[in-house]
Amino acid sequence: MTAIHPSILSADFANLKEELGRISSADAVHVDVMDNHFVPNLTIGLPVVRAIRQATDLPLDIHLMIDDADKWAPGYAEVGAESVTFHVEAAARPQQLARTLRSHGAKAAMAIKPGTDLEPHLNMLGELDMLLIMTVEPGFGGQAFMEDMLAKIAAARRAVNDLGGRVAVQVDGGINAETIARAAEAGADTFVAGSAVYSAEDPDAAVTALRQLAESAITTSPEVRPQ
């Protein structure tokens, strides 16, 4: 299943409830939480996520770009986020954290930075619902897609398929109408798009268009589909 998760990092925060209403066909809302420590940017935290939960019925896909994920991540599950992503580089006990998130009713997801090797962390797949391959350096929206991450996406897809295809493969960074097909062909099935959605005159139409592009790419490259 192809999923589009618009990132509200590119939305108008002064009118956030209205902005959420402009992406009604999205599969989830991607919420970037940054602490100015793990990444050189500061965004929002738990109180704002709690408010967002009250402002939309769409599932929340929380991406934590923060230090000490073991301590802070469970709180986002507790306030009703359907999926919580922690960075493997920021978790001291990733296996236990994934299990804790699931025990709170959230899907457990793990992110990998561009410079982090995938192979040493593939043993985590059995604990996860989603694996996020960063296709830019985390911390800022609007960056260009890193083409050299396509091989990592493909490796993630092969590993997921070997386990039965249950884990979603998400990509985040530089996803737009020009790059989404390449990411889909490599094996991604879940796509975070910020400026490509919210810079459009009709964000919801942009969501639909991106989904169609990804699905078309997967259809023509059936070897990358989940088994």
Determine whether the annotation assigns residue 115 to a binding site: no
Determine whether the annotation assigns residue 141 to a binding site: yes
Determine whether the annotation assigns residue 30 to a binding site: yes
Determine whether the annotation assigns residue 140 to a binding site: yes
Determine whether the annotation assigns residue 32 to a binding site: yes
Question: Is the CB of residue 208 less than 8 Å from the CB of residue 23?
Answer: no
Catalytic residues: 32, 172
Determine whether the annotation assigns residue 45 to a binding site: no
Determine whether the annotation assigns residue 38 to a binding site: no
Determine whether the annotation assigns residue 35 to a binding site: no
Determine whether the annotation assigns residue 173 to a binding site: yes
The annotated binding site for substrate is made up of 7, 63, 139-142, 172-174, 194-195
The annotated binding site is made up of 7, 30, 32, 63, 139-142, 172-174, 194-195
The annotated binding site for a divalent metal cation is made up of 30, 32, 63, 172
